A and B are shown apart, each in its own frame.
Chain A
Amino acid sequence: MDYDKLGRKPLSHSQIPDVKRSKSNSIENSKFIIRILYFICFMLLICDPFIHKHGPFDVEYVWGFYTFCGFIACVTFVVGAKLLRVILMQPEGYYD
């Protein structure tokens, strides 16, 4: 029986992927994808005034409200998290 108690079977030698051979083509470096993203964002921003919204709050009718909301929210979260990290981050095994 080559399975262990958790039902795992160790890999044979040939099944281990060759780490050195596979090239890393990072998504963030692919100019094509980034250009598509810019294009989509641009289109979504300029089509905003033509969309008929019907919420009760005035702020929703500001041009590109949802785009700014998404963008600013993410930036705020990251900046806030980075600040929090100063206080909250401890070395691994802190509780042990």
Chain B
Amino acid sequence: MISELNPGLILILGAFFVPLLPRCLRSIYMLAIPIIALVYLSYLPVGEFGRIPLFDMELVTLRVDRLSLVFGYVFLIAAVIGIIYSWHVRDWAQHVSGMVYAGSAVGAAFAGDLVTLFVFWELTAIASVFLIWASRTVASYRSGHRYLIIQIGSGVILLSGILIYFRDTGSISFNSIGIEMFAGQLILLAFGIKCAFPLLNNWLQDSYPHATVTGTVLLSAYTTKLAVYALARGYAGTDILIPVGVVMAVFPIFFAIIENDMRRLLAHALNNQLGFMVVGVGIGTELAINGVAAHAFCHIIYKALLFMAVGAVLFRVGTAKASELGGLRDVMPWTFAFCMVGAASISLPFFSSFVAKSLILSAALKGEYFWPWILMLTASAGAFFVCGLRLPYAVFGGERAKDLKFLHKVPTNMYVAMSLAAVLCISIGVYYTPLYKIMPYSVKYDPYTLDHIVVQLQLVAFSTLAFMLMIKLKMLPVLKKSTIIDGDWVYRKFGYHLAQTLALMAQVSWISGARGLTKAVVKLERLVNTYHSSDSVLGRTWPSGSIASCAVIILCCYLVLFYLA
């Protein structure tokens, strides 16, 4: 029975004991839980377990296969890193929601049917919003609301998709779904919202910068990568995902370049990397799916590292806005170094993504997808430009910003978490065999060939050259305090004003309508009064003689008419 427990439940159930423990034990306990889950995971046999009959369906609460294992492992590794990073936080609500969030993401990765997936899917939304609200600012409160509405909306669409899917096929098993059926399209839309597809992505850039320093690290790891996992399982080889992914990979770069808030810049860059994964899912060959899994694995770790580095800066100086930062490299040398490891992991040889992203690119080459390949190359250069050059330069390079206030000392646990992530980034890049061994399909790919190293270095070196020249020529846009409007403008500004205008119009029409109606009623009353009041023509009492003479006149007329006819 114990071997039928979904590993996600270990974290979810474990989280409820966190508030009961004293602080000294809490840190160790919180770290032990995901490690126990990791050990448990490594002993799980492949197969489907935890079958629970429900009405005429059968839930499979634990399905272990190679694809779910990759995501399970990396979700738990991210939990370990995130928990160490947040050790210093005394607010237990954040710890509980963080662990439930991580647990539900792991749970969803091992869900064998769509109903179980839905339950964990919604749980990730509900648990994670507390990481945003925990900032306890008005902006985070509002942003959290928007986040929750969109996430729950995704869940509702997923549920309706599942119901129609069940009606049409009589099955709720979570395997390849495809977009031929309406249900499949609905489920794809639900996954697309969480995966931050173009125009559905705004919740990501809106909410991540409002979360707490430690919360953003966890947020960056789970929701979107869970959606990538769900896409890889349900929609591998769906052609439409290739253009969608390409747009996702290219467009966020433009926004990232002009973004002032460094955490939002990272959110755009995260969106861009998700694009590569979506293209991989769209290509759908074994090589591409391996690429998706490997890239998700590496990306979770190095993006967490970048978020942690920016988080450390935010913690120390109280701002993550480029316009207020600069020249921090000699004040925070270690954070700078970790940030550069995270940046190097995007593209450089001997760092993690070099061995992962190239699987997707070579799948595009093998499938002869010319435009996706070339656009992914440019997006890859752009991602390095943004995260590897723009961000470190804005925060750590250049002139030291004036008016910087050094508020807090960065606690040791943050450095420990960052170094753990940095070590993982480098070790995966150098010794990639273990990563390739856990991939969904067997990998026959050698990333360290001379041509691959050289072309990758060419791409990176000339991006750097372009960056340096643009600094020299003062071509880079100067980052100012600003708001960059994105698709969320539609509902935050246009929709808001539209709703306001409509409300005003309704009010005006109600008032004027009511006034008009009153006038009409008054007029009618007057009209009635004119003829029917007690002293008017039709209302007053007539003498009976006059009635009789009227009758005589009418009869006379009748007689005359009859005679004439």
Contact = CB atoms under 8 A, between A and B. Distances in A.
Interface of A: 3, 5-11, 15-17, 19, 22, 24, 26-28, 34, 37-38, 40-41, 44-45, 47-48, 51-57, 59, 64, 66-78, 80-82, 84-85, 88-95
B408 A88 contact: no
Contact of A71 (B374, B462, B493): B462
Contact of B483 (A45, A57, A75, A91): A91
Given A16-B406, A17-B331, A89 B258 contact: yes
Contacts of B467: 74
A74 B382 contact: yes
A92 B377 CA distance: 34
Interface stretch (B36-44, B216-224, B284-292, B468-476): B468-476
21 contacts: A9-B409, A17-B331, A22-B330, A26-B398, A28-B398, A38-B465, A44-B462, A47-B454, A52-B451, A53-B451, A57-B365, A69-B378, A72-B378, A74-B381, A74-B382, A74-B462, A77-B378, A78-B470, A81-B253, A88-B258, A88-B484
A37 B459 contact: no
Given A75-B466, A77-B382, A82-B477, A89 B482 contact: yes
Contacts of A68: 462
Interface string B317-339: 00000000001001100000000
Interface in B470-525: 470-472, 475-477, 480-486, 492-493
Contacts of A95: 483, 492-493
A49 B493 CA distance: 53
Contacts of A71: 462-463, 465-466
A31 B157 CA distance: 57
Interface residues of B, number: 71
Contacts of A84: 254-255, 258
Contacts, number: 196
A51 B451 contact: yes
B257 interface: yes
B555 interface: no
B481 A92 contact: yes
Nearest to B405: A16
Given A52-B451, A73-B381, A28 B471 contact: yes
A44 B461 contact: yes
Contacts of A82: 258, 477
Interface stretch (B83-91, B164-172, B237-245, B301-309): B83-91
Given A8-B407, A28-B472, A91-B483, 18 more contacts: A22-B330, A26-B399, A28-B398, A37-B461, A41-B465, A48-B458, A57-B368, A57-B373, A70-B458, A71-B465, A84-B258, A85-B477, A90-B485, A91-B482, A92-B481, A94-B493, A95-B483, A95-B493
B258 A17 contact: no
Interface string B514-554: 00000000000000000000000000000000000000000
Contacts of B468: 28, 34, 37
Nearest to B139: A96
Given A74-B381, A84-B258, A88-B485, A11 B408 contact: yes
B460 interface: yes
Interface in B162-205: none
B411 interface: yes
A73 B467 CA distance: 11
A64 B486 CA distance: 36
Contacts of B381: 69-70, 73-74
